[in-house]
Structure 1
């Protein structure tokens, strides 16, 4: 006898939870409540709008206003191709209907309808292009799914989305009593249950792409909105706000590249002011004394290197550093400083003599590897030169002679004595404007080292504060090999110390023309490109992978307008400031970028 009852499927222990409970139980929301005009999806709310009317003509990227709406909005497009016979039959019916209306109006003496005349001409032109194989027809459905955390917010968001749609001549209607079907249609299931379609040709569909927004992406569903960040400016393409948090990226480093007069210093000063309000400790290396007005307004300390009585001793050991290699770190830095002073790496024999002289100078001052001796007065550069002279070798005497201008000659003022000024407070500005050109790079290196000694000292308790180190006109340091290496090491080490290094330069060649400069860019998660010179825009485009349109933007950008790049994220912005911020950022010099 044949068993007519269906067999019960056998459950296997190896079945996955998705297979046994259903994929929707694993990936879907906890519950969906279907209401006439909205849905409650999990802890949030959603509503679906159908696009029922389209403009007669559309331009390139006509969906951008919807894609750039500052909120969570799913824009879903269904595209089904029509077969050749079906497209031809549909066009014949449409042309016959339009031609019949035209002849009826002519026979009865009525004035011709301009809209009908335009539609008839368009249908004839489209039929000709399809017959020649230049175009195809598609059935297109366009649906909008608005998400919000509460009903009140949902109603407000729906009104805003409908207003944006109306601005591009799109008619929208809520999917009343069909919200569940509409929500399913907006999921990535390729299932259109609403079937609100409109026939379009290839050219009209092409204007929808790419499906991308000119604004930065919003947080993914389920992710909270970022708590920090600063206002970088406004997006000139969408009118949206460019809000960026460097501290939430892979690292807090940044580079700012721009030609002279593009507004880079103005933009950086805005970020300094807003970072101070965000609780970030900021240190600035200022070659042109452009930050004086800002520093005076916020009560910051300004250390003017090269001014009378201002000295920095490169052999100082940080008072709070108790690591066993602190003395070795100071010796290695002095090797770097000497190479920058001389403009080249000394020969091996001179480097060996210098190393012996550094150890001898510390020993004469009573400082050794015992941390208990590190509180004593550190030796000076002249003590190292004297130790070189005492060695009696040709290499030591040669190196001592080469160091004479900085020990007892014209450039000795910066090194001839113990450190006189120490940075303190939330903002510290190191000005190198008073230094001669021969001391600009060494002065910037000394200031950067003094800043880094505060950053690098391990704290006793708690989390260290966020610190932003800004090196303006970094080309002065990058043109020297040892200075570029020091900057590269800082860019690699900043993230581990909750610090960010911001490199600003107008000489793009020094940054892009060397491997170390390229490495500094690669270690900057935030990259700012303002207006570029025509001679360097090709190199910038190659290094940053810019499109032709982005390169043209940088050639014609206004003051303060540029491009923010971080990984796959790219957004145009124009820096904006309040009246008080503007007064503090315009600078003290007539040559200021602002």
Structure 2
């Protein structure tokens, strides 16, 4: 058996030299810059310079080149000890060069300063164990049928490389070593290396992609956000598949943040989600009316919201899901509401008086800690003012006086009666345009409270999107910001996502509560920023220099999606029907309106100047 097995192996053994000779070309002709390989000509380019910053998939234009192009990456790790010593010598050389220039009265060299800063940053990152160093060689071998064809192909590849800010040099008098370097043999005979850290090397990975991972890109609940600026592919994003369902959109005025928000909202409705919107400028009215939504116009004489309303569905039935602390929570909300309404924090004496007055006002209306009484009509703000006026404490009398304009004066219309409407439907928009500026913040708080009661206390669990446009108004008030923060923390429990949209990044990022709201948003959208705000935005979101420049020069509508390690630039795409529903561009709205007038329909009642005057 053993002899037979040996005979069998001997019969099937191969001559490696002969087999490799069959795989190789018939002959080679080596010239100064080209190499004749069979019936093909080859020329190798050595990458000698790289862009300052790259993103994953930046080599795609070269990897997807239409002609025949071999791209070889040779990677060699550098030990930590050698890397530290190398960086130490480099920093010493750069510092010496800088000091020598200063000693001789020469101006600072920007290249030296930038290189010194980069070397120092890299040294600290290595010391903290945040990365390693690698030596990388990148080589390109171009093929052509004839010398003219090869020259055209080399020019095309060099043009693509230059567009990527990559510098190349021909492998002159090293055509054969260059060709061998790009073969799948693992040999780097040229050894033209550049030192990379872990992050830069990961971006050079040839199979990286600027698109979302496959599982996220084909998520069943995703909606179309737009077109990926880097790859040209569609960007589908499902906010309800993230760690939480909240989002933050920051952009300067006119960058297209409301347009993008309305586009996502409309497409979320297609998936069966419900949406509720705080709309300070009536930008969502056309959309709501077109899809059969509910528009609640705060400021209308017939529309009122009562801050004393208890959550709907609170009964004595143990199976109803009633919150047995609903009355206490409502009293605490009234503290927040009155602090925002009066425009200042309440003193300790005022808070104590107010707490007793609120509970007494509820008792007068027959509402106590017994859930069976919670279905009775809620008291009004005027009842609280009367209760405060009947108390002997000076703090109570002062609060009653401060409440007088909102009970009997010019600002009383919104609070002068029981709630007239409930936020029900697949799309509810609270319009605040007719509200005076002095009351817009407290009106936003009241509307948001009504939405939260609908989300948290109706017992129906379904996907909901709550949009707070121009959120800077609410963020300016500490109590309003705190209410928004609590909602961002709790929304996920009720399958709801909070979308905060604002044009003033300082109001969001300039306070601890604002930064907490940003950190609790798994979906972050940045659009065009002003030069005055870009530093704060870049620091808060840890943007690279390239991303900063992108946000400063981004065209209208272009956005940068941030979520964990995902960073994708995209441009929203809408159909003509969607565009007509969501655009608020004054020029487009003006162009779509019939502006022809007859003389008797002149808005000012003036005759046409071209008409002859009668005598």
Q: So what's the TM-score if we normalise by structure 2?
A: 0.66
Q: Could you say what secondary structure the match of 1:378 adopts? A: coil
Deviation at 1:215, TM superposition (A): 1.7
Deviation at 1:552, TM superposition (A): 0.3
| CA deviation map 1:230-269 (0-9, x unaligned) | 1111011111111111001000000000000000010011
| CA deviation map 1:278-327 (0-9, x unaligned) | 11100000000011110110011100101111100011112213211011
Matches within 5 A, 1:335-346: 335-346=335-346
Residue 485 of structure 1 pairs with residue 482 of structure 2: yes
Aligned to 2:600: none
| Aligned partner (choices 271, 279, 282) of residue 278 of structure 1 | 271
* Structure 1 contact 67–213 (Cα < 8 Å) conserved: no
Aligned to 1:215: 211
| CA deviation map 1:396-429 (0-9, x unaligned) | 0011111111111110000000001111210000
From the superposition, tell whether residues 289 and 458 of structure 1 become closer, same or farther in structure 2 (CA, over 3 Å).
closer
Aligned to 2:241: 248
Residue 509 of structure 1 pairs with residue 503 of structure 2: no
From the superposition, tell whether residues 308 and 68 of structure 1 become closer, same or farther in structure 2 (CA, over 3 Å).
farther
Matches within 5 A, 1:39-438: 57=45, 63-65=59-61, 79=74, 122-124=170-172, 195=185, 202=192, 209-211=203-205, 212-219=208-215, 225-321=218-314, 322-438=322-438
From the superposition, tell whether residues 551 and 373 of structure 1 become closer, same or farther in structure 2 (CA, over 3 Å).
same
* Structure 1 contact 292–588 (Cα < 8 Å) conserved: no
Distance 1:345 1:555 in 2: 38
Aligned to 2:522: 525
Deviation at 1:117, TM superposition (A): 12
Residue 543 of structure 1 pairs with residue 537 of structure 2: no
* Structure 2 contact 312–458 (Cα < 8 Å) conserved: no
* Structure 1 contact 291–587 (Cα < 8 Å) conserved: no
Distance 1:241 1:403 in 2: 54
More off after superposition, 578-587 vs 206-215? 206-215
Provide structure 2 residue ranges, at least 5 long, that are not aligned to the other structure: 1-39, 52-56, 77-146, 159-168, 315-321, 592-615
Matches within 5 A, 1:16-55: none
Distance 1:304 1:117 in 2: 65
Q: Could you say what secondary structure the match of 1:572 adopts? A: strand
* Structure 1 contact 284–428 (Cα < 8 Å) conserved: yes
| CA deviation map 1:354-398 (0-9, x unaligned) | 111110110000011111111111000110111111111101001
Distance 1:272 1:404 in 2: 40
Distance 1:286 1:253 in 2: 18
Distance 1:506 1:522 in 2: 18
* Structure 1 contact 305–430 (Cα < 8 Å) conserved: yes
More off after superposition, 283-292 vs 210-219? 210-219
From the superposition, tell whether residues 54 and 456 of structure 1 become closer, same or farther in structure 2 (CA, over 3 Å).
farther
Distance 2:58 2:534 in 1: 30
Deviation at 1:79, TM superposition (A): 2.5
| Aligned partner (choices 448, 467, 470) of residue 470 of structure 1 | 467
* Structure 1 contact 290–589 (Cα < 8 Å) conserved: no
Q: Could you say what secondary structure the match of 2:406 adopts? A: helix
| CA deviation map 1:186-208 (0-9, x unaligned) | xxxxxxxx648786663799898
Provide structure 1 residue ranges, at least 5 long, that are not aligned to the other structure: 1-51, 70-74, 82-109, 128-135, 143-193
Distance 2:423 2:62 in 1: 50
From the superposition, tell whether residues 398 and 580 of structure 1 become closer, same or farther in structure 2 (CA, over 3 Å).
same
* Structure 1 contact 293–588 (Cα < 8 Å) conserved: no
From the superposition, tell whether residues 497 and 80 of structure 1 become closer, same or farther in structure 2 (CA, over 3 Å).
closer
Distance 1:423 1:562 in 2: 31
From the superposition, tell whether residues 590 and 508 of structure 1 become closer, same or farther in structure 2 (CA, over 3 Å).
farther
RMSD: 3.5
Deviation at 1:481, TM superposition (A): 0.5
Deviation at 1:137, TM superposition (A): 7.7
Deviation at 1:53, TM superposition (A): 10
| CA deviation map 1:438-485 (0-9, x unaligned) | 1000000000000000111162xxx71011100000000000010000
Distance 1:427 1:299 in 2: 8
Aligned to 1:104: none
Residue 575 of structure 1 pairs with residue 565 of structure 2: no
| CA deviation map 1:74-103 (0-9, x unaligned) | x9976267xxxxxxxxxxxxxxxxxxxxxx
| CA deviation map 1:557-592 (0-9, x unaligned) | 111101000011110000110111000011385699
Distance 1:451 1:420 in 2: 15
Aligned to 1:100: none
Distance 1:517 1:498 in 2: 22
Aligned length: 443
Q: Could you say what secondary structure the match of 2:220 adopts? A: coil
More off after superposition, 579-588 vs 480-489? 579-588
Q: Could you say what secondary structure the match of 1:265 adopts? A: helix
Deviation at 1:115, TM superposition (A): 8.9
Matches within 5 A, 1:437-476: 437-457=437-457, 459=459, 464-476=461-473
Q: Could you say what secondary structure the match of 1:219 adopts? A: helix
Residue 586 of structure 1 pairs with residue 583 of structure 2: yes
Deviation at 1:66, TM superposition (A): 8.2
